[in-house]
A and B are shown apart, each in its own frame.
Chain A
Amino acid sequence: MNAPASAPSPYSSALGKSNIESHTLSVLVDNEPGVLARVVGLFSGRGYNIESLTVAEVAHGEQLSRITIVTTGTPEVIEQISHQLERIVPIHKVTDLTVFGKSIQRELAMVKVRGKGENRVEAMRLADAFRAKVIDATTESFVFELTGRPDKIDDFVELMRPLGLVEVSRTGVAAISRGPDPI
C-alpha cells in the first residue's frame, strides 16, 4: 500500500529511508567487454551502494561470468536494483541470495603483519586459531592467508592491528546458495 509516510522531501521516494538492509546479489552475465562497466555504471548512475563486488568467469565454454554484489538499501531499493540489473541486455539472471534462501558467503584475505618478539608469537597463535595459513614469512614479518565470512576477516584484521598490521588485501565476497540446486 502507498501509506503516507513522513518523508520530508516531496519528490523523494515516499517509501522511506529506514530499515536499511544488506543483500547479496548473484548476477550471471555474458563475459563480454564492458559488461562490468554497465553494472558498476548502473550503481553509480542511480546512486546505489556497492559494499563489495567480485567477478570472474565461471563457465569458460559458455563465456559466462558470475558477479557477486553486496549492496545496502531498503527492501524497495534492493528490489529496484535487481530489476534495473535485469534490464542490462547481457545479463542472464539476477538472484537475491539474501531472499532466495540460505546461502554461504566467503571472502579471502591476505594480511601482512610486521613485528618481533612477543607480538610475532601472538600473531602466529591467533592465526592458528583463525585457521589462517602463512604464505610468506621473513624474520620480521608474515603474510597470512585467511578465508571466511567477511565478519570473521574483519575480526582477524582488528586483532592484528596492535600486533603490527601493515596492509590487507581482500577479494570481496563470493557467495553461493546451499543445497543441491543452482540459483
Chain B
Amino acid sequence: MSKQMTGAEMIVEALKDQGVDTIFGYPGGAVLPIYDAIFQQNYVRHVLVRHEQGAAHAAEGYARSTGKVGVLLVTSGPGATNAVTGLTDALLDSIPLVCITGQVPTHLIGSDAFQECDTVGITRSCTKHNYLVKRIEDLPRILHEAFYVAARGRPGPVVIDIPKDVQFATGTYTPPRGVQHKTYQPKVKGDLEKIKQAVALMAAAKKPVFYTGGGVINSGPQASMLLRELVKLTGFPITSTLMGLGAYPAPDPQWLGMLGMHGSYEANNAMHDCDLMIAVGARFDDRITGRLDAFSPGSKKIHIDIDPSSINKNVAVDLGIVGDCAHVLEDLVRLWRANAVHPDKKALDAWWGQIESWRKRNSFAYKPSKETIKPQYAVQRLYELTKNRNTYITTEVGQHQMWAAQHYHFKEPNRWMTSGGLGTMGYGLPAAVGVQMAHPDALVIDIAGEASILMNIQEMTTAVQFRLPVKIFILNNEYMGMVRQWQELLHGGRYSHSYSESLPDFVKLAEAYGAHGIRCSDPADLDRAIQEMIDSPKAVIFDCVVDKAENCLPMIPSGKAHNEMILPDFDADLGAVIDDKGKMLV
C-alpha cells in the first residue's frame, strides 16, 4: 500500500516492513525527526547505547546470533565517524548491517556545517555499499535496497546517509516488492560441472581435509547441517577458521580443532600435508596460511565461496566454485550419494593414523597450577559449567580470545561472536548486548581481557538500563597479553606500554554500574564463583585473576609455515624463534 508520510516515518515503516524489531542507536541533532517517529510507535525497539561504536558492535552481535540484518541509527558527524570502526569490523567479517546516519540538510552539505562530515566519502571503503539520499522520492527504494544489498551474496554493512530536510519532507512510501536489484545479483548456485569435478577429486583423495570458515555460518543453519552430512559421508577430517567455529560440532572425533596461527597441531599439519584441501566459505587469510610460499605445498585445492574475488586472491586454487555454501554443499552431498562414491578406505585410514599421532601431541596443553588460575583452565571450567545451557559467547580481542577459541567447544552455529578480520578490542561487550537483546533468556558471556573491556566499558550502562544479564568474564593478567607476548617474541621482552597500569577495581566498577561484581584468584574457588555468575539475575563483571606470564600457544610464528609451530612444551628462548623477515610482519 502506498501511503503519504514524512521521510522519518518512512524509515520506521521500512524497518517494520523489513521485519526489524530492534535497533541500536544514539540520538543527535541530525536524526531528531527519526527519533520523534520512533517515539510515536511501539513496533521497533530502540536500544540506547553509550557510544556509536557500541551501536555497531551490538548490531553485529544481534545479526550474527540471529542470521538477520542488524540495524543501527546514529547522527551526523561524530555519530557517523564513531560508527566507522564497527562498520569496518562488519565488512571484514561479512556481517549484514544497515546503518542509518543523519546528515545536515541538503542545502548545508559542503558548507562545513555543525556536525557535518562527508559520511559517504568516509564510509565508502568500509561498507559494502552506501547511499546519500538527496530526494524524498528515492528514500523508500533505497531503504529496501539497502537491506537487500546487506544480506545478499557476501553479507556486509550498508550506510544510508539521510539529510535532515529529507527526514522532514513528505512523500509516497512504497513497501518492499521482491526487490530485484538491477546490477547486484550474486550467483548462489554453483556450476554443476565444477561440482562434479570436485566430487571426483574428493573420491580420489588419499589425504583430504575440509577447511571451513565464516561463510558456512553466514549461509545459514542449513549450510551447517549439510556440512555435517558431507563430512560424515566422506569420513574426511575437518578444521575451521576462527569465524567458522560451531558450523561443525567440536566434540566430534572428525573435528581437528581450529587452524591457523593459534590453531591445533593436528589441524595445521593436516593442512600442510594434505593432498586435497576443500575450502568452504573461508578466505585464506594470513592468520590461516602463515608463510604463503610454504602453504600446503603438495595439495590440490577446491575453493567454494560466494565472492568470486576471494578465489585465487591469496592462494591459487585448482578448482574455484562460486556459489552460496548451502547450495554447493547440497549439490556435493547429492552427487556424492548418487554416485555412491567409495573413497580409498586404506589411504584414509593411514591419513587418520597420521592425524591421530599429531593429535597425541595435545597442542592445547598447559601446565596446571594449584596456586594461580591458568587462563586456559578458566575457559575450560567456564565451558564445563555452561555447556549444557543455552549459551552464547562473545569475545574481545587478544590472548583471551584465542584461549576461548581453543578451549570453549561449540556445537552449533551462531553461538560464537568474535572480531576476526579487524581484531577490534572492545567488540565483546556491545556484541553481548546485541546478542542478549535477541535472546533474552539465553546465557550470554563476553570472555574478555582487562584491557579490551575498558575500550567499550560504557556499554555496561546499556546492559543495566535494559536489564540485560550479560556476563563479562575477564581473564585479568594485568597485561595487554597478546602485545606482551609479541614483545617477548620480537622485542627482547621490553614490555613497552603493554602493562595495564591503574586498572579499576572491577568489582566496585560493577557495583557502580548497578551490576554484580565477582573476583576470583583461587583455582579451588573458581567453579563456585562461575556458578555464582551464572546464577545471578543481573549483569556481572567477573574479575578472574589469572597467571600474568602465560603465553598463548601453540603458535605459528610470523613468517613460518604450518609445520613450524611453537608447541606448549617448547622450552628454548621464544625471542630467538622469529627471524628478521618475520619481524616485519604483523
Contacts and interface: CB of A to CB of B under 8 A. Distances in A.
Contacts of A84: 309
Contacts of A30: 182-183
B124 A37 contact: yes
B318 A1 contact: yes
B489 to A, nearest CB: 15
B383 interface: no
Interface stretch (B207-215, B289-297, B490-498): B289-297
A84 B128 CA distance: 11
A2 B132 contact: no
Contacts of A10: 290-294, 558-560, 581-582, 585
Binding site of B, secondary structure by majority: helix, strand, loop or mixed?
loop
Interface string B569-586: 000000000000110110
A74 to B, nearest CB: 11
B145 to A, nearest CB: 9
Given A38-B124, A76-B312, A14 B183 contact: no
B297 A2 contact: yes
A9 B585 CA distance: 9
Contacts of B300: 1
Nearest to A84: B309
Contact of B184 (A38, A80, A89): A89
Contacts of B183: 30, 89-92
B305 to A, nearest CB: 11
Given A87-B307, A89-B149, A14 B125 contact: no
A91 to B, nearest CB: 6
Nearest to B121: A37
Interface string A1-20: 11011111111111100000
A11 B301 CA distance: 19
Most chain A beta-carbon neighbours within 10 Å: one of B293, B311, B318: B293
Contact of B286 (A6, A7, A11, A90): A11
Contact of B296 (A2, A13, A15, A34): A2
A84 B300 CA distance: 25
Contacts of B308: 83, 86
Given A33-B132, A86-B309, A2 B124 contact: no
Contacts, number: 87
Interface in A84-107: 84, 86-92
Interface in B516-532: none
A86 B293 CA distance: 28
Binding site of A, secondary structure by majority: helix, strand, loop or mixed?
loop
Contacts of B301: 2
A86 B311 CA distance: 13
B586 to A, nearest CB: 8
A21 to B, nearest CB: 16
A2 B561 CA distance: 15
Nearest to B297: A4
A41 B124 contact: yes
B295 A2 contact: yes
A76 B316 contact: yes
Interface in A1-57: 1-2, 4-15, 30, 33-34, 37-38, 41, 45
Contacts of B121: 37
B313 interface: yes
Nearest to B309: A83
A80 B308 CA distance: 9
B188 interface: no
A89 B128 CA distance: 8
B120 interface: yes
Contacts of B316: 1-2, 14-15, 76
A76 B313 CA distance: 8
Contacts of B584: 9
B318 A79 contact: no
B20 interface: no
A2 B315 contact: yes
A12 B289 CA distance: 11
A2 B272 CA distance: 13
Interface in B234-286: 286
B500 interface: no
A84 B313 CA distance: 10
Contacts of A45: 125
Interface string B144-167: 000001000000000000000000
Contacts of A11: 286, 289, 291-292, 558-559, 585
Nearest to A29: B183
B293 A4 contact: yes
B174 to A, nearest CB: 20
B111 to A, nearest CB: 18
B313 A7 contact: no
B314 interface: yes
A106 to B, nearest CB: 27
B129 interface: yes
Interface string B40-67: 0000000000000000000000000000
A71 B181 CA distance: 29
A7 B125 contact: no
Nearest to B310: A83
A34 B292 contact: no
B120 A34 contact: yes
Contact of B292 (A7, A79, A80, A91): A7
A87 B132 CA distance: 19
Nearest to B314: A13
Given A2-B301, A79-B312, A89-B128, A12 B184 contact: no
Interface of A: 1-2, 4-15, 30, 33-34, 37-38, 41, 45, 76, 79-80, 83-84, 86-92
7 contacts: A10-B292, A10-B558, A11-B291, A11-B559, A37-B121, A41-B125, A76-B312
**Top 8 closest pairs, chain A to chain B, by CB:** A83-B309, A10-B291, A89-B129, A10-B559, A14-B292, A14-B293, A83-B308, A89-B184
Given A1-B300, A92-B182, 18 more contacts: A1-B316, A1-B318, A2-B301, A6-B293, A9-B581, A9-B584, A10-B290, A10-B560, A11-B558, A13-B292, A14-B315, A14-B316, A37-B124, A76-B316, A83-B309, A84-B309, A86-B308, A89-B149
